[in-house]
Amino acid sequence: MKWWRAPFKAVDGESCSNTLRLVNNLSEAGFKVGRLVGPRGSKGTGLQPGDFVIGVEDHYSERLINNLGEEYGVELKPLKTFDPETVVTVRSPLIGVYSGEGAGPYYTQDMVEALEEMGFRKVSLLTGPLTPGDLSSLDALIFGGGDSFQILSSMKPEEARLIRQFVESGGVYIGVCAGAMLPVKPVNILGAAYGLLEAWEELQVVECEILSDSVSEPRWPVFSSRRLGEVLRTYPVKGLVKSKIVKRGLLTLGYREEVTMLHTGPLIKAKDPKQVFGVIGSVSESAEYGLPCENAVEKAQGASSIIMVEHGSGKIVLFTSHVESIETPAVHGLLGNALFLKTYGDGEKRFSQHVEEIKTEDFTAASESCRVLKLVKDAASKVVEQVENVIPGLYASQLVQEAAQLRMLKQAINRIVARESVVLESMEEALKAVTVLQELRRKGFANTQIEILSNSLAEWSYVVGKARKALPPLLEKIVETQELMADLSTVMVSSDRSDVEKRFATVWNALAGCRARFEKGVPASPGVVSPLASLLINFTDSLEKMRLLRRILTYLKQP
């Protein structure tokens, strides 16, 4: 086996996703991947803490690793004097992303795309209510941007208890922006916004000072977290900030000094400085303020931006700023570091069903899914047009928050349906994979990558079956939503604000989903955005894995 160095060093303003995508893909493809997590063993190797190492079996041509380095834009160098015992093995984690009530669909889509850009494709979207089955197999659970108050008000205490137990048993909780507020203790504004929240008591773990809550009635409502009666509760800062790395460790591997982050949420300060890995050092000139500038900057400077707390056998990682934002690609690696925390030294978790031929009905089902998905895209595009027409009316009705929600939802839908071609591409790739497998078996080849390609075909077959059942009902729901949008347009012209708010809630629940509220006659709905995004995530995972494995196997030497 030969070992290669894959350097990982974050540079502010530049993407660091390529290295992570390469090592995740190779880990998924069955190659040995490790990481240098400390200075031990780096002497004479050129390795720096945070760098990855990749082990390639001798039965592959060296052109494989050279060509992969070129394709991914990663400078891979051979390690001639290297002891594998000096690095910690790492695997690609299994990830759950909360996408239920209170999660912002736009932020969720940002998160999914950032994860895929880094090669983290084992992603489940969890619409809730959360169950033990949702969390039992996960390595990491992400709560991203949205409305932390709405998340907690909709969450049952037993769900919050499951999250806490998930961490206590070794899982990693990652909170971003709104998600960072869920484990924070205490948050006084919750009492004003919603009264007592039972779910909150189950999650309060991280002792923090809430810097955003010291102004009871802000007069500068640039943007808000929640309307309390007629008062807008504002955040001090919205915009780009410089976050200073103040502590080294697994969470900040590859990072030095300052990085730019997008901040759109509250400001907090961990009471235990040992838990702080990053603090806000400065605020950009383009930032908006919910307080007078001098007060906002004063509050922001020194606020905790990166926090990690050990709880039980697991970890809670809080990013108060957005580590998934497309505006700040350099900090995506911080999210990647957090996702790897559970998997260091851990064994692989793989699907174990082998397939060398795909049934004709699988391709028939995939073709039908392509047809229905095209109809879904067309219907969703019509909904997007309706949303564009409705937004001005919502602003005119002074429903500013609702208009902003629909605008962001529209953007998320556009980004999701733009991936329509992935089903057809995966079907074409599955055909190629079958041909490659049959040829390799005929020639007597047998290795890990061949087995994993066979597994990948089985995974693809499963996803096709799931899509065949799920897509027609999704199409029906989107068509029904067109009628709901038409009703909303009519109500905005002829009814008062309360009626408009009710119709808006109906539209939002149909698209984004909601929890059941039986006392109000509202049934539970997963919406259409998360289920559709989940299917396309599954197809993307199958496509990328089959494509990479098929290409890797072309570099096999003759047995």
Structure token pair of residue 448: 């890990």
3-state secondary structure of 52: strand
Which residue in the block uniquely carries the two structure tokens 């916004």?
A: 193
Q: In what helix (H) or strand (E) does residue 451 lie, and over which residues does it extend? A: helix 448-494
Q: Residue 374's pLDDT is what?
A: 96
Task: Name all domains of the chain by residue range, CATH numbers in brackets.
Answer: 2-89 (3.30.70), 95-340 (3.40.50.880), 360-555 (no CATH)
Give 328's contacts (C-beta < 8 A, 6+ positions apart). 240, 259, 260, 261, 262, 322
Say if residues 349 and 266 touch (Cβ distance below 8 Å).
Answer: no
Which pair of structure tokens corresponds to residue 121? 């494709």
Helix (H) or strand (E) holding 195: none
Global pTM value? 0.93
Residue 385 burial (CB count, 10 A): 13
**Which residue type does 378 have?**
D
Please provide the DSSP assignment of 367-398 as one string.
HHHHHHHHHHHHHHHHHHHHHHHHHHHHHHTT
pLDDT of residue 227: 41
> Consecutive sets of 10 residues in the chain, 559 residues long: mean pLDDT of each?
93 91 96 88 81 94 93 93 86 96 94 97 94 95 91 88 96 96 70 56 85 48 38 65 96 94 89 97 81 70 96 97 95 98 77 60 92 96 96 89 91 94 96 93 91 93 95 97 95 87 92 79 84 96 96 87
Residue with tokens 């998600």: 179
CA–CA separation, 152 and 144 (whole Å): 13
Distance CA 23, CA 5 (A): 11
For residue 507, what pLDDT is reported?
A: 94
Distance (Å, whole) CA 52 – CA 139: 20
pLDDT of residue 375: 97
Residue corresponding to tokens 């299994």: 94
Q: Residue 121: CB partners within 8 Å, gap ≥ 6? A: 24, 28, 92, 115, 537, 540, 541, 544, 545
Question: Which pLDDT does position 228 carry in this prediction?
Answer: 38
The Cα–Cα gap between 66 and 50 comes to 21
